[in-house]
Structure 1
Amino acid sequence: MGIQHPKYKVAVVQAAPVWLDLDATVDKTIALIEEAAAHGAKLIAFPETFIPGYPWYIWLDSPAWAIGRGFVQRYFDNSLSYDSPQADKLRAAVKRAGLTAVLGLSERDGGSLYIAQWIVGPDGETIAKRRKLRPTHAERTVYGEGDGSDLAVFDRPDVGRLGALCCWEHLQPLSKYAMYAQNEQVHVAAWPSFSLYDPFAPALGWEVNNAASRVYAVEGSCFVLGPCATVSQAMIDEMCDSDSKHALLKAGGGHATIFGPDGSMLAEKLPPDQEGLLYAEIDLGMIGIAKNAADPAGHYSRPDVTRLLLNRKPARRVEHFALPVDSEPAEIEPAVAS
């Protein structure tokens, strides 16, 4: 009798946040979790910084303009702390739904913000809190960075070996290889939206970045869930206060996707301005067939030619220590002139 490989339904989010409104966006996140559970999904994936939304203002004008308009303060105040009532509310909702959620958020920790993905299991317990290793370009005016411990894959009995990265982390070959080498089976590739600088910056557009998700699926021989936010008209109305800004950012931009380990598209895309959930049935048995052809960190690798060095140690800004009582420095006898 053949081995029964796990099969289950996944849900991928394409929606706009209630921009810079933490409580309202948490409520919208919970509604999407409940909708996915009602449709039988065992895993739901959210876009990059869905809570409280992506800070598009950093690409539209100067930092002084953003501060003067109040965006900087509001973004900090509406970012999500791990030990907060809103975070507790999210974890309780995931537990009620009985699924695994990969949340996308701006994480507030002390006086700093981070592009984060929290993986919460069906028991409501946190499986992982990862941070984007290096914020991209203008994002570095808002966020701090993660470390090598954030390149991790988690073996879960309900969904398989699960990992996640954000946005242009999918253009970092070494970071991708660190994930492939952990035999990742299901990967969440979280994106913010694709309507910035369109059409004169193809590298920021949907075709290039959907392709990055698709290549990840084929390279890693894994399923890739590509949640993607939309830009709402309300966001445009608030940020775009001139004709030049309207030319830089447009409403819509949603291009959520789901790919199989052979690069096949497993769900029909929604229109770029439409909110909703993409669903797909995934069969982890497909991975063995894909890796039979090319296992990037296994039989298709050449470690005698190229290898990856990976530092998984968490970065600590402060190391606390205390000297033992018996290690007080001894008195030094003064030198005597001869």
Structure 2
Amino acid sequence: MSERVRVAAVQAEPRWLSLQEGIEQVTGLIAQASRIGAQLVAFPETFVPGYPWWMWLNTKGWGAEFAARYRDASMTREGDEIHAVLEAARAHRIHVVLGFSERAGDQLFMSQALIDQHGLLRAVRRKRELNRLESQVFEPGGGDQPRAYDTELGRIGMLSGSEHLQAVTRQQMYRTGEQIHIASWPGFAIYRGATRGRGHWANASASLLYSVESASFVIAPTAIVDVAGWELDGATGPQTRLLHNPGGLTTIYGPDGHELGAAPSEKRSGLVYADLDFAALGKPRPAYPVSTHLNPEIYRGPAGNQVAARMLRRSF
């Protein structure tokens, strides 16, 4: 049984408000991750059809210009779009954690789908703790406690964005015995230059803290935000003073908080990947067969560990 698993984290700008283009982008990134030998690829929060940043830019009335389009571009659990993602996971033999806006009847949820390498939808988790602005667009998820899921790669858990700032939610996840944690973020594009307690520094540090407290590997994919992208189709008067692009800080952490891989620039689109050495966890893994692809390009990481990580120099 191999003790190494290669994982990839997406850093890219979503295809804003376009469901079809968004799914094409997702399946393309799944194929790209597979080509570099990744056995798991993780996407940012609500990557399809993009995080609704208009909430931060102007009045609620101004945001209503986007609300109907956002709902139409959101994905269901039963539609052709999710099946396209399942098929891509099956075809490329890769686990996928996809952040998406889930449409269920008249409601929207901030959801994460866990898909295994056989193309089976193992779980859909809905974000429970919404901030005040997110509550204008989405409904909170159900009352079930967070859990981790047994897979051929180990126990995988997942939370969305600001849930990592909730102490009770974190403690619930720590008790699940997860070995790989997906910390999906929408991008760190607000409050740049503000106090650390509200700015991107605090949010980005939450993933690092999570790896130390949970003693698990943390994969933290982050979207890129193009401020100009919200000057859409004649929408009136966006006030972008709070939003500063691009905000991509995708990182992969080891269980003691050392950095296994990080995007070289917050502007660069592509995949960050790393080889996870489960011997570092100090706890047993499930007895599942796992295949691995060793990376010929090795560098010595900040903690002196030899890790494999690089950014693919390709824009999507």
Q: What residue number does 2:223 align with? A: 229
Larger Rg: 1
- Structure 2 residue 216 is the aligned partner of structure 1 residue 219: no
For residues 219-246 of structure 1, give each alpha carbon's deviation from its aligned partner in whole angstroms, at most 9, with x where no partner exists. 0000000000001255243299788723
Q: Residue 274 of structure 1: CA displacement?
A: 1.2
Q: 1:284, CA displacement in angstroms?
A: 1.3
Change (3 A) 1:241 1:250: farther
- Residues 87-166 of structure 1 correspond to what in structure 2 (within 5 A)? 87-149=82-144, 151-157=146-152, 159-166=153-160
Verify: 1:199 aligned to 2:196, yes or no. Answer: no
Structure 2 residue matching 1:162: 3-state secondary structure:
strand
TM-score, scaled to structure 1: 0.80
| Aligned-partner residue type, residue 81 of structure 2 | Q
Q: Which has the higher contact order (CA 8 A, sep 6+)?
A: 2
Aligned length: 284
State the match for 1:6 in structure 2: 3
Q: CA 1:203 to 1:73, structure 2 compared with 1: closer, same or farther past 3 Å?
A: farther
Whichever residue aligns with residue 197 of structure 1, its letter is Y
- Report how far residue 260 of structure 1 moved: 0.3
3-state SS in 2 of match to 1:137: coil
Distance of 2:110 and 2:220 partners within structure 1: 16
Q: Secondary structure at the match of 1:89?
A: helix
Whole-Å Cα distance in 2 between the matches of residues 121 and 40 of structure 1? 15
Q: 1:175 aligns to what SS in structure 2?
A: helix
Q: Aligned-pair RMSD on alpha carbons?
A: 2.0
Paired amino acid for 1:19: W
Q: Which has the higher helix share?
A: 1
Unmatched tracts of structure 1, length 5 or more: 290-338
Matched, 1:272 2:272: no
Match for 1:32 among 23, 29, 34? 29
Q: Cα distance, 1:199 vs. partner?
A: 1.8
Structure 2 counterparts to residues 75-86 of structure 1, below 5 A:
75-86=70-81
Name the counterpart of 1:321.
none
Q: Which runs of 4+ in 1 moved over 4 A?
A: 239-244
- 1:63-89 per-residue CA deviation (whole Å, 9 max, x = no partner) reads 21122xx30000000000011011111
The answer for the alignment partner of 1:282 in structure 2 is: 276
Contact 1:223 1:259 in 2 (8 A): yes
SS at match of 1:114: strand
Where do 1:317-328 residues align within 5 Å?
none
Gaps of 5+ in 2: 284-316
Conserved 8 A contact 1:132-1:150: no
- Residue 299 of structure 1 corresponds to none
3-state SS, counterpart of residue 279 of structure 1: strand
- What is the TM-score of this pair, normalised by structure 2? 0.85
